[in-house]
Every structure is written in structure tokens, then in C-alpha cells.
Amino acid sequence: MRLLTQDPLDLAALIADVASPERGGTCAFLGAVRDHHADRAVLELEYSAYGPMAEAAMADIVAETERRWPVRVAVAHRLGRLAVGDAAVAVAAAGAHRDEAFAACRHVIEELKRRVPIWKRERYADGTEAWVDPTAAGAAR
Amino acid sequence: MRLLTQDPLDLAALIADVASPERGGTCAFLGAVRDHHADRAVLELEYSAYGPMAEAAMADIVAETERRWPVRVAVAHRLGRLAVGDAAVAVAAAGAHRDEAFAACRHVIEELKRRVPIWKRERYADGTEAWVDPTAAGAAR
Amino acid sequence: SRRISFSMDSRSSATVLLFARYAELVGAEQVQVRVAPGSDVRDVLQGLRAGHPGAAELPDAPLCAVNHRQARLDDAVRPGDVVAFLPPLAGG
Amino acid sequence: SRRISFSMDSRSSATVLLFARYAELVGAEQVQVRVAPGSDVRDVLQGLRAGHPGAAELPDAPLCAVNHRQARLDDAVRPGDVVAFLPPLAGG
């Protein structure tokens, strides 16, 4: 599965990518579009990315995570227009044991949010739109 | 999805069970049959359960987890004969934010291993078989 | 898939369920054990050992359940109760 | 889907990429900014502001990248480099 895609995310494909007979524990994370953000009703949103840098950063995160824990990890982020409930990001991490699977999966999503140049513009029920700024006061996590 | 089943586990169905428009973060765990256990090559294994107690304990774990975190969780364990790579247990936990999704998912799998009366008998490449005792010295996690 | 059946003396005995390695040791998945008034789970384990030589290999303090809920060895057992002795759990 | 095109003066300028809110503020997703010898990312930001009034609203120290890798404001920029200014990230 590609790191960035306009198509719906396929978590089963990511899990299959990291599966192997010696890896008994797989932890996965799915981030979906919520119907609210900072108390405003969200109708839909649009993700955009700085493609070459985002793909390089995601590849770096995968490589770093696989060096730090004995795991295989896979990650994909969707771009374009998404509706409430659509998955925007998917991560899968598989290891022999669940400790490293959970730790690696969590690490990938934290680093992705911290380092990967992706932006989202939300459209609200009241007709307004806004770029989401997680660093702004009062912003939701 | 039923708590205990002889059929292959369907993680997508568990994730759908816990999804809702206000829950943006879903963490899932899949435990699969590994090809090794305590340095012995595993060919296949058979899970059995004390059904009524196992289902009651799993329902208790779900209820406790949903009281402790603002999440919905779902869990299923497969019984019967499984091959290497088959999923034996699946957990999904969804919340508004990823902190609680990860914490709840991890809690469910830890409590399941600690409290749910399920046993497994492994068949090894050398033709022998054994009941797995995670409390025995040298046992793998 | 195991069916729990009750024998004729269920008014004076408890049903004991055995699983996995313990069922192999005892040679049965289900037996009846007489329970006197004031009995607890430990008494039932003693009764099981008296009637089934293989039960000698069960530990002194196995995991146990009464009526499908986890229990302690000093929990009371009354006639008609279902007592289970559980080998170390290995789910997940 | 954005194509990065290079203008005639790429031998003396850097390509500046702008995204999301910053592209709206500047009114362009890509502009050329002249770079003198010894320039760094901060100089490119100054050059951008000089040529594009909307860039006045960019913060003094935005996230930035040089040639698709995260960079610091005092990292060197040479003609032909691709410099990007990045609004607060909101992926995931």
C-alpha cells in the first residue's frame, strides 16, 4: 500500500504487509474523521500534503521504528476530501510479542502527527471552513 | 461478533462494532499463532475454553474497560484447531482520542490473558504435543 | 460444546468440571462430588482426590470457579453448585 | 499532484513552495526568490516577504524544509534549492 493515497485506506492490507509466522502480535491504529472539532460540527474535510517530503518523512519513521523495536510496521495516510467516519490514517505494527507491537504502533502515529507535512481544511455545519491548527489555543488534540 | 467462535476472526467486523462519528481513534490488537514457542517449532494448536465462565469474564472485561475509559470495545477469541498465522484473539477499542483507544485496547488483552479460562495445546514439529503453561519457568510470554 | 449433565444425587453433591490438563489427569471432564453442609471449594478438591487417583497431581491451590465465576478455595459450596478447577490460563 | 516547475532564473534563485494557509496568504503555491551567496532559509523568507505582501502574515519562524527535508532557519540555501514553508502540521 502506498504511503499517501487518494483511495480509501485498507487496514487489512497493511496488516497483511507486516504479518509473518514469527510475529504473533499485531497492533493497529485507525484515525477517522470525527463529527466534532473544538465544539464545532464537522461535515467533511480535505487533507493535502507536501508529497515528496511527507513520503520521505513517513519512510524515515518506518525505518526508525523498525530499528528501535523488533517489528515490521506499515502506515498510510489518505488525502483529498473525506467524510465523517472515513479513515484518514492507518498504522499496523507486528512483532513476536505485544509489548513491542503496541509501542511501535503508538510511536508511528505520534511521529506522523509531529513530523509529516499534511494539512486539513474542515468544513463546518454552519457553512464556514478553516485550516486546522493543532498548535492554536483551544485546539483539540 | 460472538465472544468465542470456532470461525476465523473478523477484525473489520469488530472495528465496525465500535465505530461511531464521535470516535476518531481506534486501536486494535490481533494475536496470531506463532511458529515458535520456547524455542520449539509449532505446527498447529488447539484452543479450548470453559465457555460460560470465559464469556462471562470477557463481558466483564468489556464492561469494566468501558467504565474506566470513554471508549467502546469489542473482543473475540477463536477456539478449536488453528494453524500458524491464524488469529486467535482480536480486540478493537474506539474513542474520541487515541490515548484512551490505546490504553483500553491494551487493558482488554492483558485482562483477557489474566482472567479468561482458555487453554491451548500445541503440536510441535518433532511430533510431540503439550498444554501451554504460561506460568511455567522458561515459558514464553 | 461440552454439555453439563446432572446426576441423580445433585441434591447432595456438586458438579466438578475439569479442563485441559486437569481433565487428562483425572480422566474425566465432569464428576460429581458429595458436599456436606458447610463445605468449601477446598473440601470439594479433597473429595475429588478421594474418588479419583489422577487428581493427586492437581496442585494444592489451583485456580477455581463456582457457578462459572472465579472463586477462592474457602468460598462456600452447596449441593447443586458447579465447581471448576482450572489449569494455568493460556488464552490470547 | 502539484508539479514543481523551474523558471529561467533557477541559476540565481531558489524555488519556494507554500502550502495550505500559507499558500492562501501569499496567493501562490510556488514562487522564485533570488538567493545571494551565503544565503540561509531566513534570507529566503525575507526575500519572499519583499516580493509578496501576503507573506507579511507568515510567522517569523515557520516550519521549513530544504529539498524536501525538514530544515532550520539558519540552514544554507543555494540557487536551485527547493525551500518550503509549512503551516502547523495537522496530519493523522
Q: List the single residue in A19, A85, A99 with the smallest CB-CB distance to B85.
A: A19
Q: What are phi and psi of C33, to 5 degrees?
A: -130, 130
Name the DSSP letter for residue A84.
Answer: T
CB–CB of C86 and B50 under 8 A?
yes
Confidence of residue A63 (pLDDT cuts 50, 70, 90): very high
Residues of chain B in contact with residue A141, where contact means CB-CB under 8 angstroms, are 97-99
Terminal-residue alpha carbon distance, chain B: 27
pLDDT score for D63: 98
Is D8 a residue whose pLDDT tops 50?
no
Read off the pLDDT of residues B74-132 as tens digits, 9 standing for 90 and up: 999 999 999 999 999 999 999 999 999 999 999 999 999 999 999 999 999 999 999 99
Which chain A residues touch B if contact means CB-CB below 8 Å?
A: 11-12, 15, 19, 21-36, 84-85, 96-99, 101-102, 105-106, 109, 141
- The cell numbers describing A37, all together, are 472539532
Average pLDDT for A133-139: 78
Strands D82-86, D13-18: pairing kind:
parallel
Read off the pLDDT of residues A79-130 as tens digits, 9 standing for 90 and up: 999 999 999 999 999 999 999 999 999 999 999 999 999 999 999 999 999 9
Residues of chain A in contact with residue D84, where contact means CB-CB under 8 angstroms, are 50, 53, 117
To the nearest whole Å, the CA of A55 is away from the closest chain B CA by 22
Give CA–CA dist C8/A115, Å, rounded.
Answer: 71
Mean pLDDT (chain B) is 95
Helix (H/G/I), strand (E/B), else coil: A26: strand
Mutate to test the interface with B, among A34, A39, A42, A45 (most CBs of B within 10 A): A34
Average pLDDT for C66-74: 97
Mutate to test the interface with B, among C26, C68, C83, C89 (most CBs of B within 10 A): C89
Listed in order, strand segments (DSSP E) in chain D are 13-18, 30-34, 63-66, 69-71, 82-86
pLDDT score for C8: 45
ipTM: 0.91
pLDDT score for D11: 80
pLDDT score for A38: 84
Residues of chain A in contact with residue B12, where contact means CB-CB under 8 angstroms, are 11-12
CB–CB of A133 and D2 under 8 A?
no
